[in-house]
Amino acid sequence: MLRKSFVLFLSSLMLLSIFAPSAMGASVSGSKIVDIANKYSGAPYDYGGTTTSGFDCSGFTQYVFEEAGIELPRNSRQQNGVGEYVSKSDLQAGDLVFFSSTPGSDRISHVGIYTSNDNYISATVSKGVNEVSINDPYYWGPRYVGAKRVLDDKSQASSNNTSVGEYHDVTSHHWASDHIENLSQTGIINGDENQNFNPEDDVTRAEAAKMVSEALGLKTSATNAFHDSSSHWAKGYINAAAEEGIIEGDGKGEFRPNDSIEREEIAAILTRAFNLSGGGSQATFNDVSKNHWAFSEIEALAANSIASGTGNNNFQPSENATRAEFTAFLDRAL
């Protein structure tokens, strides 16, 4: 009996060794894994499938990682046995995410690849390979079990060594990737300490002042244009932009640097910063009337192909702008 148990123990060690991620993973970034996965978006589902003619969930993840030079075991439960546990709040591009077929259960039946902004890509029975939210309240959210990082921290950070402007959470398929890369390479924008850009986060008024000041090459100023920004990290940029008449306060001597900036406010800032004009007297957007305080500025953005709206011919002027949106606007203005 002892001999049998020892043989089983050795067998399990051999199995883990065989299915341990390849050492080649140390040179692969999470964004590369996501780029490979996105190539097969729309591929059909096939139970037991492991090729582009049809994937099941673990066949898809195995295929993607194999293309990057990393070996994974065949099924989802085995794949959950490799790598290191990752909390949901610490997910990065390229992490494996696991789900159960029953809400609240920890019995794994599905696996996919985390992309960014709480989304993941996987092979599903209903839609083939597609990208959805891990927090989808109607299906995936209640079935989320956990995540594993097959790429070690060095491989996740390896994108820092590729080129300036690459971030874990901005793949080449992101709609604003070119704009983000352009402004990163010129030093106008940057990401966080984990090399994430957080493209869907709101951009703050301080961040907007800093980026515009950097874009125009303004010299930081020590004068206190606003009493609520005198000790703020961006005070030099805020003061510089205020001195040039590019930004304004709220009429009470405050700039509210940590507030999210609205799309209409961005239109006003960019119009002043780059002396934009054009648009005429006809309204371009259904939700921006001629009586709107930023009508001329929003029209100028449209006339100069800086902003084209959000769909249905609307501009949504009072909506907060994301970091990706502001970066795209500023890059186009430049």
Backbone region of residue 261 per phi and psi (left: phi > 0; alpha: psi in -120 to 50; beta: other values): beta
Q: What angle do CA 122, 123, 128 make, to 5 degrees?
A: 125
Q: Which two tokens mark 289?
A: 């009337």
Residues 6+ apart with CB under 8 A from 89: none
Work out the percent of the chain whose per-residue pLDDT is above 90. 54
pLDDT in tens, the chain (334 residues): 544 443 444 444 444 433 445 433 445 788 889 989 989 999 999 999 999 999 999 999 999 999 888 999 999 999 999 999 999 999 999 999 999 999 999 899 999 999 988 999 999 999 999 999 999 999 999 999 999 999 865 445 444 444 456 787 888 788 888 888 888 888 888 887 677 888 899 999 999 999 999 889 988 888 889 989 988 889 999 999 999 999 998 888 899 999 999 999 999 999 999 999 876 667 788 999 999 998 999 999 988 999 877 778 899 999 999 999 999 999 999 8
pTM higher than 0.75: no
Domains and CATH numbers, the chain: 2-156 (3.90.1720.10), 158-333 (no CATH)
Give 147-164 pLDDT, tens digit per residue: 999 986 544 544 444 445
Q: Which two tokens mark 248?
A: 């304004």
Residues 6+ apart with CB under 8 A from 125: 45
Work out the percent of the chain whose per-residue pLDDT is above 70. 87
Give CA–CA dist 54/247, Å, rounded. Answer: 54
In contact, 130 and 114? CB cutoff 8 Å = no
Give 202-239 pLDDT, tens digit per residue: 999 999 999 999 889 988 888 889 989 988 889 999 99
* Nearest by Cα to 168 from 39, 64, 31: 31
> What confidence score (pLDDT) does residue 87 get?
92
In contact, 194 and 168? CB cutoff 8 Å = yes
